[in-house]
A and B are shown apart, each in its own frame.
Chain A
């Protein structure tokens, strides 16, 4: 059976050039970049080359890039580190209700530390109205963090407008750009950002290397104490092979971006148009047009997401879901609930995220298989039986 991977938001294959660069580095270099002797030269050079490559991807300066171990670390660092560095000025932080858990729970930790947090609501498309953020700003507000692209529903947020409002109020603005950096054009100056999180495994780099970009002059409190790596902002010997991979992936993402967008967007649109055509009672989640180029997400009425993923897997397709049964916490997606979806509809969540190795034939195969998979589960569903009776009655 042919296997098709539509779960790129969760993990990506390494590009051959990325893997090659990593292996070749690991074969020859093992010194510590902090070393004075010759063994430190290669790692130091590799680190600075990667820093340049990542900075170029987002239009930042190399010295503004702090390498971290994961997107989660970058987001924790930003939310806690930027808030802590300003606690004398104020203790109020604003985040959106649909942030990734690494922002949301970092904000909850700030609450335990005596900060106040406001959670900005979103509309039915998962879109945040910048004016909502303006309304939440107080004299004590020091940090606003709103994600650029949402990995669960694909909506891309108006962060340029939000950053402008933050600036007007002299509030620092951070964005979690993990879903967008390396996927769509992101320019820190054009967007007017103060800090940005990105991760290489979202654009065909390895797991274990991510970055936080912090604009020069913006203070941040380090979370890890130790050596003076990363300009004293992130202690710990750098994971250089992974950072080398991140750098090459960033370079390729920048050079190939237009070409990738041209390939992925039509495939996404084929899913967005095709699935509701083939199956009734399916709703697209997230914004219909202002969304990630590789992201198609839906809620299917009367059935549950995990069962759908299992049947999809049996047919050779990998996908994701925000249903309660799929999550380890057994809670329905906070994103779908924040968008106002009822629990039973959120249970039918299914998310397809496309990647460079996908093609039109694979998408058409999915469109061919999906009606049968959904039909099988609906035939078993008491909710569907009730719906059919209601229609007849």
Chain B
């Protein structure tokens, strides 16, 4: 029995939205190399919607698939909707993750969340 679902393997083998955005409206980083996974999310925002999203991930197969799935889920969503993406909803969209990977590798939603908050903070400060 394979460890990962077909959907996880698909996102791992063909990750969507890999990259960085120069002068992104929001940047969020989560994780650290000691625990094994590190994710950076970049977003651009237009009319309170996520116009574009890119990520870079250091981590296992699950971490890469999670990042890819989060980027796909977030694209085009309003900020309010995107803030509702949770590790659980990401795992559900991936047809499940192995138990051991639920916490340490499922950091994509938090990284995206940080990117959105980074954008909102910058906006508040009028940057």
Contact = CB atoms under 8 A, between A and B. Distances in A.
B89 interface: no
A383 B38 CA distance: 8
Interface stretch (A68-76, A226-234, A302-310): A302-310
A343 B33 contact: yes
Contact of B58 (A303, A310, A330): A303
Interface string A288-332: 000000000000001111110010001000000001111010101
A161 interface: no
Given A347-B36, A380-B18, A380-B64, A325 B59 contact: yes
A305 B59 CA distance: 8
Contacts of B58: 302-304, 347, 380-384
A304 B37 contact: yes
A344 B63 CA distance: 15
How many interface residues does chain B have, given as a range?
Answer: 20 to 34
A236 to B, nearest CB: 31
A335 B4 CA distance: 27
B104 A330 contact: yes
A328 B38 contact: no
Interface secondary structure of B, over-half rule: mixed
Interface string A334-362: 00000000011001000000000000000
B20 A385 contact: yes
26 contacts: A307-B12, A307-B61, A307-B63, A310-B61, A314-B13, A325-B37, A325-B60, A325-B62, A325-B101, A330-B36, A330-B104, A343-B33, A344-B33, A347-B58, A380-B18, A380-B57, A381-B58, A382-B38, A382-B39, A382-B57, A382-B58, A383-B33, A383-B58, A384-B58, A385-B20, A385-B56
Interface of B: 12-13, 15, 18, 20, 29, 33-40, 56-64, 100-101, 104-105
| 10 closest residue pairs by CB, A with B | A344-B33, A325-B60, A306-B60, A382-B56, A343-B34, A324-B36, A382-B40, A310-B61, A381-B58, A325-B36
Given A306-B61, A310-B12, A380-B15, 19 more contacts: A302-B58, A304-B58, A307-B61, A307-B64, A324-B35, A324-B36, A325-B36, A325-B60, A325-B104, A328-B100, A330-B36, A344-B33, A347-B58, A380-B18, A380-B56, A380-B58, A381-B58, A382-B58, A383-B33
